[in-house]
Chain A
Amino acid sequence: MRWTLPGRLAVTTVALLTVISTGCAPSDDSSGSGGVVELTFWGDWSGEGEQQFRTMTDAFNKTHPGIRVEYVVQEDMLTKFLTASTSGQAPDVMFWDRWRTATYAPKNVLEPLDERMKKDGVERERFYGEAVRELTHDGKVYGLPLTVDARALFYNKAHLKEAGVEPPRTWAELEQAAIKLTKREGGKLVRAGLSMDDAGLFSMYLRQAGGQMVTDDCSRTTFNSPQGAQTLDLWSRMIKGGVYQTGFETGLGEGTDAFATGKVSMIFTGPWNITTYRKYGKDLDFGIVPPPAGPQGDRASLMGGFGLVIPRAAKQKDAAWEFVKWWTAEKDNALKWARTSLNIPGNVAAAKDPFFTDDPFWKPILDTLEYAKVRPACAGYPPMEDDALIPNLQLFLGGKATAQQALAKAQEQGDRVLTQNNLD
């Protein structure tokens, strides 16, 4: 043993290094056998999502004999994309969380699609305008919307009936309903009338009050305003009314979700939860209404969703465009995707299909989408919310800062974060 071990070790090391080095070496032959163009499509959805993607790639491959799309799950897709785009290993099509466009488009790593859209007669108007806006930078469109979502008010029908309240349509009704729906036992909160866990919803409330988060050029914050104060005033009245306590929902995930288990009577959330909550069947009788209007009747909601983009380093851009166009711009395919994945498609004609408009759960979300807006599309905005605004709002919700202190501090820090992160 003594004599052979070091030798064996050396051999193993060499073998290992060989594996590592060959594993890293480029080993692609994109345009493979018989003139068929091979496309690589990256996404970070696995499990059910992967099946849904494969349904679409299979359908595309069947109708396009010259192109073969292969879906590849990339768990840590963006990190992989960073290294891939510099080493020429980029995929041809990528599933894209739209809000990241503002950070990536200025770096010239995404392919602008305007000319291809013009040539093939794909008008921007086919899609939800806000979703296209989120994929736009400096007037150029860098992707097409695949899904759209918007926050709306989900409510527990049984709780509302028992408390004798109607689904709220205004802030005043929301406040009253939340207070009436709340249950306490010996001072301890056992049922919260309204979930107030997500301080990030501030931007939605603010716009309902008629306010704005940042200036149009995204250079300064504008939420420290009468409308911002009005928002926190509403929050503070509800908290004083006993509606919520911080920490009430921490650690509760799917399966122990506070709304699904009846610990919360109303919650602002998105259509991604419709499928989750429907799984509870009879145990959870819920309804959805568009978010209540603010004091002056303003309506607002937060839009999010995904798109498809083509990296600049893609090798098969023409075929990639065919695939993107087929999936998002052609109504039938967009609808097939929507029904397969239970997501509202970015394609407006497909979204107006009876499958969604006749459904009591999807209809209110569609109505909300009419006025929902995406986050301001600048690189500094997400860090501003994360580093400056939300922490200060959490301090306010936890009773550790007054509304004025929280807004003033958030403004001061937020302005700095905007300047620092908008630079490049």
Chain B
Amino acid sequence: MTRTLATGPDIRGPAAGPAPHRRPPERSALGRHQARAGMLFTAPAMVLFLVFTVLPVAGAFGLSFTAYDVLTPPSWAGLANYGRLLEDDTFLTTLKNILYYCAMFVPAMIAISLVLALALSRRLPGMAIFRTVYFIPVVTSPVAAATVWAWMLNSHYGPVNEILGYFGIPGPAWVGDGSTAMVSIVIVTLWQGVGSNMLIYLAGLQNVPAHLYEAAALDGAGRWRSFLHITWPSLRTTTFFVTTLSLIGAFQLFDQAYVMTKGGPGNTTLTPVYQIYETGFNRLQMGYASAQAFTLFIIIVAVTVINMRVNRDQVPE
């Protein structure tokens, strides 16, 4: 634990992939020993992952074919839960809502975290402070932050609209209005999440070889052209990683919707996970909730695969 935020650039995204110039692994005694150590290091995480993630997921899949209320033993229901899903307007609404949210959230997340990383990767005094400042929301409790944000976005007395008012802009009702409620949640979740992706991008930027920029400068490329032809392509794996994580996280939106809007107004911010929680824990329909959860899981997998394809199809420079 010697790493601090100030040395953020050292942290590499797990999907940053092998660096271009890595030597092939040597089968030395040391290498074998390291491999063994590596297994041991990952073993606790893998065991916990198996016991607390893989097994429950398999269990949920099984339960999705049953009627189960936790209190009495499950009874086989076949495809009834999935059939009910097809007629469930509310669940369909939550899916539409979450797609709308993703469409706003993910591109904005990429753009803002990349811009921040580019700005903060310059070697100027005080950068460590800025990095820390942008990272602070990441370690803030989502529920506490959402509570404060809900007040800040109050239509009549919130600071956000007060400030807008100074500039003569009539602020919207934010979470109080169905057409802006989801935008409000996008703003709050961006604020909360942008710091960690900024760090990942900062790490990615460290891996872009400096000589490429020198060569480009010699050829007379400006800043924009260097960005377009060197930085952006070099960050391809990083962008893939950030996009994937953001998408998966976005599909599981819950805290902010629960605290700020309770899914309202008019179900405009109701999310699948919120509805799964309601179905399972407040209505004791774990079988149906499992079917909802599994459907969401399939959708997330599908979207991730599409995202992978899109990224792979981009021709590397």
Whether the pair B152, A251 counts as a contact (CB closer than 8 A) is yes
- Check A382/B266 contact, CB under 8 A, given A6-B36, A248-B156, A252-B154: no
Whether the pair B265, A395 counts as a contact (CB closer than 8 A) is yes
Pick the interface stretch among B9-17, B172-180, B240-248: B172-180
Q: Which residues of A contact B255 (CB under 8 A)?
A: none
Whether the pair A10, B155 counts as a contact (CB closer than 8 A) is no
Task: Render B148-165 as a binary contact track against A, CB cut-off 8 A, 1 for contact.
Answer: 011111111110000000
How big is the B interface, by class?
35 or more
Whether the pair B43, A13 counts as a contact (CB closer than 8 A) is yes
Whether the pair A103, B174 counts as a contact (CB closer than 8 A) is no
Whether the pair A395, B266 counts as a contact (CB closer than 8 A) is yes
- Check A420/B282 contact, CB under 8 A, given A6-B37, A251-B154, A394-B178: no
Whether the pair B37, A250 counts as a contact (CB closer than 8 A) is no
Whether the pair B154, A107 counts as a contact (CB closer than 8 A) is no
Whether the pair A394, B265 counts as a contact (CB closer than 8 A) is yes
Contact of A252 among B70, B149, B151 (CB under 8 A): B151
Whether the pair A424, B285 counts as a contact (CB closer than 8 A) is yes
Closest to A421 in B: B283
Cα-based distance from A387 to B157 in the complex (angstroms): 29
Task: Render A184-200 as a binary contact track against B, CB cut-off 8 A, 1 for contact.
Answer: 00001110000000000
Q: Which residues of B contact A382 (CB under 8 A)?
A: 282-283
Whether the pair B72, A108 counts as a contact (CB closer than 8 A) is yes
Closest to B45 in A: A13
Interface residues of A in 1-27 (CB under 8 A from B): 2, 5-6, 9-10, 12-13, 16
Task: Render B117-156 as a binary contact track against A, CB cut-off 8 A, 1 for contact.
Answer: 0000000000000000000000000000001011111111
Is residue B40 contacting chain A, with contact meaning CB distance below 8 A? yes
Whether the pair A107, B69 counts as a contact (CB closer than 8 A) is yes
Cα-based distance from A251 to B283 in the complex (angstroms): 27
Cα-based distance from A85 to B72 in the complex (angstroms): 10
> Chain A nearest CB: distance from B311 CB in Å?
35
Whether the pair B40, A251 counts as a contact (CB closer than 8 A) is no
Is residue A35 contacting chain B, with contact meaning CB distance below 8 A? no
Whether the pair B266, A83 counts as a contact (CB closer than 8 A) is no
Cα-based distance from A387 to B283 in the complex (angstroms): 12
Contact of A6 among B40, B71, B285 (CB under 8 A): B40
Closest to A14 in B: B44
Contact of A250 among B84, B155, B263, B281 (CB under 8 A): B155
Task: Render B31-50 as a binary contact track against A, CB cut-off 8 A, 1 for contact.
Answer: 00000110011011001000
Cα-based distance from A246 to B153 in the complex (angstroms): 13
Is residue A78 contacting chain B, with contact meaning CB distance below 8 A? yes
Which of B70, B153, B266, B284 has the most A CB atoms < 10 Å from its CB? B266
Q: Which residues of B contact A251 (CB under 8 A)?
A: 147, 149-154, 158, 175, 260
> Chain A nearest CB: distance from B278 CB in Å?
7
Whether the pair B44, A189 counts as a contact (CB closer than 8 A) is no
Q: How many A-B residue pairs lie within 8 Å, measured between CB atoms?
A: 134
Q: Which residues of A contact B90 (CB under 8 A)?
A: 387, 413, 417
Whether the pair B175, A85 counts as a contact (CB closer than 8 A) is no
Cα-based distance from A395 to B260 in the complex (angstroms): 17
Is residue B267 contacting chain A, with contact meaning CB distance below 8 A? yes
Whether the pair A86, B71 counts as a contact (CB closer than 8 A) is yes
> Chain A nearest CB: distance from B120 CB in Å?
31
Q: Which residues of A contact B174 (CB under 8 A)?
A: 247, 250
Task: Render A137-154 as a binary contact track against B, CB cut-off 8 A, 1 for contact.
Answer: 000000000000000000
> Chain A nearest CB: distance from B89 CB in Å?
6
Is residue A379 contacting chain B, with contact meaning CB distance below 8 A? yes
Is residue A161 contacting chain B, with contact meaning CB distance below 8 A? no
Is residue A400 contacting chain B, with contact meaning CB distance below 8 A? yes
> Chain A nearest CB: distance from B2 CB in Å?
13
Task: Render A385-424 as a binary contact track against B, CB cut-off 8 A, 1 for contact.
Answer: 0110011101101101100000000000100110011001
Q: Which residues of A contact B47 (CB under 8 A)?
A: 13
Is residue A79 contacting chain B, with contact meaning CB distance below 8 A? yes
Whether the pair A391, B281 counts as a contact (CB closer than 8 A) is no
In order of increasing CB-CB distance, the 9 nearest A-B pairs are: A247-B176, A247-B173, A251-B150, A251-B151, A247-B155, A394-B265, A395-B266, A391-B267, A6-B40
Instruction: List B residues at the A interface (Cβ < 8 Å).
Output: 36-37, 40-41, 43-44, 47, 67, 69-72, 84, 87, 89-90, 147, 149-158, 173-178, 260, 263-267, 270, 278, 281-285
8 contacts between A and B (CB under 8 A): A12-B44, A16-B44, A189-B156, A245-B156, A246-B265, A252-B151, A263-B157, A394-B264
Q: 13 new A-B pairs (CB below 8 Å) besides A6-B41, A247-B176, A383-B278?
A: A10-B43, A13-B43, A190-B156, A247-B177, A248-B155, A248-B156, A252-B157, A256-B151, A394-B178, A394-B265, A394-B266, A416-B89, A424-B67
